[in-house]
Structure 1
Amino acid sequence: MTTPPPDSTHSARTAAPGCPMHAAGGGGVRQLYGAEAESQPYALYEQLRAEHGTVAPVLLYGDVPAWLVLGHRENLDVMRSRLFSSDSRHWHAMRDGTLPPDSPLLPITAWQPLVALTDGAEHARLRRAVTESFGRVNRHRMRRSLSRYATRLVDEFVGRGQADLVADFARKLPALVMAQQLGIREADALPVGRAVADMLSGTEAALAGNQLVTDIVRELVERKRLEPGDDLTSWLLVHPSGLTDEEVGEHLRLVLVGSLEPTSNLIANTLRMVLTDERFRGNLSGGQMTLPDALEQVLWDHPPLAVVPTRWATANTTIGSTPIRAGDMVMLGIAAGNVDPGIRPDGRPMHGNRSHLAFGAGAHECPGQDLGRAIADTGIELLMERIPDIRLAIVDAELQVVGSWMSRRLTGLPVVFTPQRQTARPVAAPVQRAEEPFLPAPEAEPAAERPRARWWRRG
């Protein structure tokens, strides 16, 4: 199958049989990008569902055709099936050279030797290094660091009686914690966090942000090769899978991009729901819903990535009743699948249910999802306990959300509260250990069930 050139003047009627444009009869394929689609994505998902069912043809930048999977079960099928690869070299647009070199899809889809973009034996080698290194993280020590960093951030604004919980808290906490876990110097943590946000902004700052992250990661790998410590970078460097310095650096970059923005959004969206949604206020104040339950509800309603455009069919097949040709781009519709009426009639709440699609499934399921949950859970709990009368400074309708076809984020969350005294002590620098041979992660200690604390109290 040959993909039509990504030229908006190219007629959909000339598309080869089997491609999304042809399947929809030409002309009727909706764009997944643009102001209208990106401002009301859930409305678009429902329109596509009504028109096409569980899989819909869509157009990406440059009118590049693709399939968007809308069904919850169908998304899981694609995630778990070997008929759909994460290697973009299967994509006919890559093979045929019909994707222009300046396409905005290239930074997302261009093949690299990364765990997220490989399959088979190479994926298994890289995946083992990443998951086993994550498994060595000491959860107790990380929680203590989390508490110290969260306390310090709250201390910076608690005396003012007002704050922007996105800029002052949600964006800073994941950067500080993940920088420590990777072995990045604390002075570089917040600049790295800002650089990652710039990389994903789609603005002119993206290039400079990418360069800063690249430079810091390169220096980090060189430093840890000479002076290993008790951190993810050092563990990746000595892992038996034998990653090169370049592979370690690329995976550290992937960890930063894949953890900071999603975790920041998870914190911000959870805080917004707690501050504005009466269902959450009542349940939490009454002790019927824990904070982890609230986090899972947010992962259903506002997944960190709405669309994951990194699957390609390796053979002619079907999804549901839709025929898919080898080489077609098949995008995971995470947000659309999470609101599939087949599993959520009338958009019913999914309290405590972890069967959402936010972290994927199968061979490419997110290996760091528990760290993201821990950062959000601990940070929000400390913030709300420290400032129990916190409330939104504006009405919910005035909050602004920006994003693209792949993700959306809250731009700010202004709050007010009773000013308090600062109580935090300076955060001690993490202790660096000498290099030790790579060992499998110790078996986790059984976690005691957390009490359903009434951590939310109205002011």
Structure 2
Amino acid sequence: MTTPHPDVSHDGSALAPPPGCPAHGVSAEGIRRLYGPDAEANPQGLYEELRGQYGPVAPVLLHGGADVEVPAWLVLGYPENLDVMRTPSRFSRDSRRWNQWDRVPADSPLNPMVGWQPLCVFADGEEHERLRGAVTAGLEQFNRHGVRRYVKRYTEQLVDSFAAKGEADLIRDYAEKLPMMVVTRLLGMAPGESPDLVEPTLDLMKGTGTAAASNDLVTRTLAELVERKKKNPGRDLASSLIGHDPKLTDNEIIEHLRLTLVAAHQGTVNLIAHTLRLMLTDPRFRGSLSGGQMTLPDALEQVMWDNPSIAVVPGRWATGNTTLGEQHINKGDLLLLGIAAANVDPAIRPNLSAPVHGNRSHLAFSSGPHECPGADIGRAIADTGIDTLMGLLPGLELAVPATELTLDAAWLTQRPASLPVKFPPRHGDGQSTGEVSQPLPPSVPVDSPSSGPATAVAPGRRSWWRWLLHR
């Protein structure tokens, strides 16, 4: 990972000196931190306080390292976020434009997320199209039916690992593991490699002191994968990137594999976690599902409105002095896309209790030229995973009062810290001690994710829709 000389932009021109504070007329003491216990205890509350104080664009401080705070702008408004996302001529993805690089140490926890890399998400124009084209071509080889086969098989494996106990933590034992198992297979890894990547992939998104080391571990693992796939290519993303025309460098291939792994894993973990929490704790949410007012895919869209997987997305960098949300933005200032805040902007959602399920105009997958190319894969993993899980565990319910559930929040993400559940224990033959059911069908061998039909649900398995109705 490289960063430029702090006083030179991507095209070699001189940058304006870094300002002491991004907001003119606002003292540094008056700017809220976007990190730390206070911010993480109630991030949505912080967003609303900032909206009330500053409007749709607010100055904030980020944790840049030991004793280092760096200023940025948090974009809170829905139309303002769309403006930033859709106008790369004003707000570039090239982080080398940042006017704060002289204040950011080499081991800063910000570097894994904003340090310039040869990635499509740090490029604009023709370079962006070249790199993004390679990724989309690789992802297009996977159809939803093939992905669903992986999801069903791995869900069955995970449930088998804790079904006999009659209890589990659906975050630790399921939500964190399933997306990694699926995504690593799509990348081209062997099944046994996924467990070692779960913790470091989650860690590098948290901006902790170990984020840089976690990022290095993930990158080394992917570099080894690329070397293997050069010798033994297959039908996977790594092989597709290696063989793409025009050719990508090894560094570009590794970094795009890392981008896909981190984004797909983190985003899908959070989507599954938030959806399961609502199904287990919110009677209105369960009622809409069981009553047919919304389907599970619709429910996922509702969750992405109210609890987007990535709450804050860094970043964009102003290509020149400009104005946004009545705030003066200096050339080189960093802007953070406040997805969670924008999705509940009173300008577009004056009544938050009104359902928006099925409406895909949320910003959970961004918009404009950098809109997430793997959105359908994430949806397929969450939809199929939750559907299969509920079918395998009849009688599933929370093992603690809902009031005891807490959020695991960081400056970029937030999700339930744990979801302890209980259910009638299942014997090794697939039967529950509390309810007799047909044994599960054997798993279909997985050769490539797009071959053959999806695994059928056992005819004797109790529908999770009946579970909802029962509740």
TM-score bracket, normalised by the shorter chain, equals 0.7 to 0.9
Counterpart residue number, 1:242: 247
| Alpha-carbon displacement from aligned partner over 1:142-199 (angstroms, at most 9, x marks no partner) | 2122211112212222222111111111111111111111110111122222331243
Partner-residue secondary structure (3-state), 1:125:
helix
Partner-residue secondary structure (3-state), 1:356:
coil
Correspondent of 1:35 among 19, 34, 37: 37
| Alpha-carbon displacement from aligned partner over 1:233-257 (angstroms, at most 9, x marks no partner) | 1111111131122211111111111
The reply on whether 1:369 has 2:371 as its aligned counterpart is no
Aligned CA distance change for structure 1 residues 321 and 22 (closer, same or farther; 3 Å): closer
Counterpart residue number, 1:446: none
Counterpart residue number, 1:449: none
Counterpart residue number, 1:72: 78
Question: Contact conserved, 2:301 with 2:358, CA < 8 A, in 1?
Answer: yes
**What letter is aligned with 1:160?**
K
The CA distance in 2 between the partners of 1:183 and 1:313, in whole Å, is 37
Counterpart residue number, 1:437: none
The reply on whether 1:431 has 2:447 as its aligned counterpart is yes
Correspondent of 2:414 among 398, 402, 408: 408
Counterpart residue number, 2:205: 200
Question: Contact conserved, 2:397 with 2:422, CA < 8 A, in 1?
Answer: yes
Partner-residue secondary structure (3-state), 2:23:
helix
The CA distance in 2 between the partners of 1:140 and 1:99, in whole Å, is 45
The CA distance in 2 between the partners of 1:178 and 1:380, in whole Å, is 16
Partner-residue secondary structure (3-state), 1:89:
helix
The CA distance in 1 between the partners of 2:166 and 2:108, in whole Å, is 46
Counterpart residue number, 1:149: 154
Offset of 1:210 from its aligned partner?
3.1
The CA distance in 1 between the partners of 2:333 and 2:363, in whole Å, is 22
CA RMSD in angstroms, aligned pairs only: 2.3
Counterpart residue number, 1:45: 47
The reply on whether 1:90 has 2:90 as its aligned counterpart is no
Aligned CA distance change for structure 1 residues 220 and 429 (closer, same or farther; 3 Å): farther
The reply on whether 1:399 has 2:401 as its aligned counterpart is no
The reply on whether 1:257 has 2:270 as its aligned counterpart is no
Offset of 1:206 from its aligned partner?
4.1
The CA distance in 2 between the partners of 1:224 and 1:432, in whole Å, is 15
**What letter is aligned with 2:373?**
P
Question: Contact conserved, 1:315 with 1:327, CA < 8 A, in 2?
Answer: yes
Offset of 1:343 from its aligned partner?
1.2
Question: Contact conserved, 1:381 with 1:455, CA < 8 A, in 2?
Answer: no
- The worse-fitting range, judged by mean Cα deviation, of 74-83 and 101-110 is 101-110
Counterpart residue number, 1:12: none
Question: Contact conserved, 1:149 with 1:427, CA < 8 A, in 2?
Answer: no
Question: Contact conserved, 1:270 with 1:295, CA < 8 A, in 2?
Answer: yes
The CA distance in 2 between the partners of 1:374 and 1:201, in whole Å, is 25
**What letter is aligned with 2:258?**
R
Aligned CA distance change for structure 1 residues 200 and 316 (closer, same or farther; 3 Å): closer
**What letter is aligned with 1:176?**
M
**What letter is aligned with 1:77?**
D
| Alpha-carbon displacement from aligned partner over 1:297-332 (angstroms, at most 9, x marks no partner) | 111121111111210010222213222221111111
The CA distance in 2 between the partners of 1:117 and 1:135, in whole Å, is 22
The CA distance in 2 between the partners of 1:113 and 1:305, in whole Å, is 22
Using structure 2 for the length normalisation, give the TM-score. 0.85
Q: How many residues align?
A: 428
Question: Contact conserved, 2:155 with 2:388, CA < 8 A, in 1?
Answer: yes
Aligned CA distance change for structure 1 residues 317 and 264 (closer, same or farther; 3 Å): same
Offset of 1:215 from its aligned partner?
2.7
The CA distance in 2 between the partners of 1:49 and 1:199, in whole Å, is 28
Offset of 1:209 from its aligned partner?
3.4
Using structure 1 for the length normalisation, give the TM-score. 0.88
Question: Contact conserved, 2:146 with 2:448, CA < 8 A, in 1?
Answer: no
The reply on whether 1:296 has 2:308 as its aligned counterpart is no
**What letter is aligned with 2:83?**
D
Offset of 1:24 from its aligned partner?
2.8
The reply on whether 1:54 has 2:56 as its aligned counterpart is yes
Question: Contact conserved, 1:384 with 1:456, CA < 8 A, in 2?
Answer: no
- The worse-fitting range, judged by mean Cα deviation, of 35-44 and 73-82 is 35-44
Provide structure 1 residue ranges, at least 5 long, that are not aligned to the other structure: 5-14, 434-440, 442-451
Aligned CA distance change for structure 1 residues 453 and 241 (closer, same or farther; 3 Å): farther
Partner-residue secondary structure (3-state), 2:24:
helix
The reply on whether 1:270 has 2:275 as its aligned counterpart is yes
| Alpha-carbon displacement from aligned partner over 1:251-309 (angstroms, at most 9, x marks no partner) | 11111111112111111110000000111111111121111111111111211111112
Partner-residue secondary structure (3-state), 2:351:
helix
The CA distance in 2 between the partners of 1:154 and 1:259, in whole Å, is 22
Offset of 1:102 from its aligned partner?
3.9
Provide structure 2 residue ranges, at least 5 long, that are not aligned to the other structure: 1-15, 431-439, 451-463
Question: Contact conserved, 1:170 with 1:267, CA < 8 A, in 2?
Answer: yes
The CA distance in 1 between the partners of 2:209 and 2:180, in whole Å, is 22
The reply on whether 1:326 has 2:331 as its aligned counterpart is yes
Correspondent of 2:128 among 103, 107, 123: 123
**What letter is aligned with 2:50?**
L
**What letter is aligned with 1:264?**
V
Counterpart residue number, 1:187: 192
The CA distance in 1 between the partners of 2:204 and 2:445, in whole Å, is 28
Counterpart residue number, 2:470: 458
The CA distance in 1 between the partners of 2:243 and 2:129, in whole Å, is 17
Partner-residue secondary structure (3-state), 1:355:
coil
The reply on whether 1:100 has 2:123 as its aligned counterpart is no
**What letter is aligned with 1:43?**
G
Question: Contact conserved, 1:263 with 1:372, CA < 8 A, in 2?
Answer: yes
The CA distance in 2 between the partners of 1:205 and 1:66, in whole Å, is 22
**What letter is aligned with 2:99?**
H
Partner-residue secondary structure (3-state), 2:103:
coil
Question: Contact conserved, 2:78 with 2:343, CA < 8 A, in 1?
Answer: yes
The CA distance in 2 between the partners of 1:203 and 1:425, in whole Å, is 43
Question: Contact conserved, 1:180 with 1:430, CA < 8 A, in 2?
Answer: no
**What letter is aligned with 2:55?**
G
Offset of 1:207 from its aligned partner?
5.1
